[in-house]
Amino acid sequence: MSFIKHNASRFKDQLLKEVAGLELLRGVIESNDIKLRVPRVINVSEHQLELERVNAISPNSEMMATFGKELAKLHSIPLKRAGLEEDNYIGLNPQQNDLYQDWGSFFYDKRLMAQAEMIAALRVRNNFIDILSDKKDCLINWLNQHSQHMSLVHGDLWSGNVMFDEQSVWLIDPAVYFGDREVDLAMIEMFGGFNHNFYDSYDDVLPRSEEYDTKKVIYNLYHYLNHYNLFGEGYLSACQRGMAVVNSF
């Protein structure tokens, strides 16, 4: 059996970019003997995507631990550059990419500033752009100082994009790029859904950095800005809290 997903966005290539992300994940996972799975692509067009169906179940503690361990193994593979050669999507919004030599500049340009420039409300947009512009060099330098190496990241890693069946952990709906692996961990915390078995197992393989508590606020600011641009005022206060941390540098 298969699962059919229809293109509900205004972008004709959204499903095609999703498939490209799935295949990039699959290639790295399979070539490094990582025990995560990606649904097989059966057919794709601009209008619909047909995928291998996953018979999902609720995960137990052992499955959560497996996910933590195997995600850490994926994140342990060092890469040289940040970003991606082509743009893709984060939810229903475009996600800007390019290949950068350093992580801080990529995250500043293509994540935080890109989202700030999309804000429709002029006063909010100008305020956020002013903060980012004022703290540009400090933020970029701090991120570069505190990122270990670039990893292939899922990019949209919340509980709805991880599935479990009787044998495996599956990753779906990626927004992939090469970046600081803690962006994935930050988003996992943004909406919750993973218990201590996941975190303990992850940290056993690849411990989170000492700066993680600050980094996760900055990294999730990208997603809060995206949610604000997509869904409106309900996410503004979270954006303001994240900007306050940026402004403290």
User: Hey, which residues are catalytic here?
Assistant: 156
Compute the distance between CA of residue 91 and CA of residue 97 in angstroms, rounded to an integer. Answer: 15
What's the DSSP call for residue 209? P
What's the DSSP call for residue 14? H
Q: 233: Cβ–Cβ under 8 A, 6 or more apart, which residues?
A: none
Q: Cα–Cα distances in Å, from 235 out to 24, 120, 229, 232?
A: 31, 14, 9, 6
Q: Indicate the residue type of 239.
A: C
What backbone phi and psi angles, to 5 degrees, belong to 152? -75, 120
Query: DSSP letter string over 10-42?
Result: S-TTHHHHHHHHHHHHHHHHHHTT-S-B-PPEE
Radius of gyration of the CA atoms of the chain, in A:
18
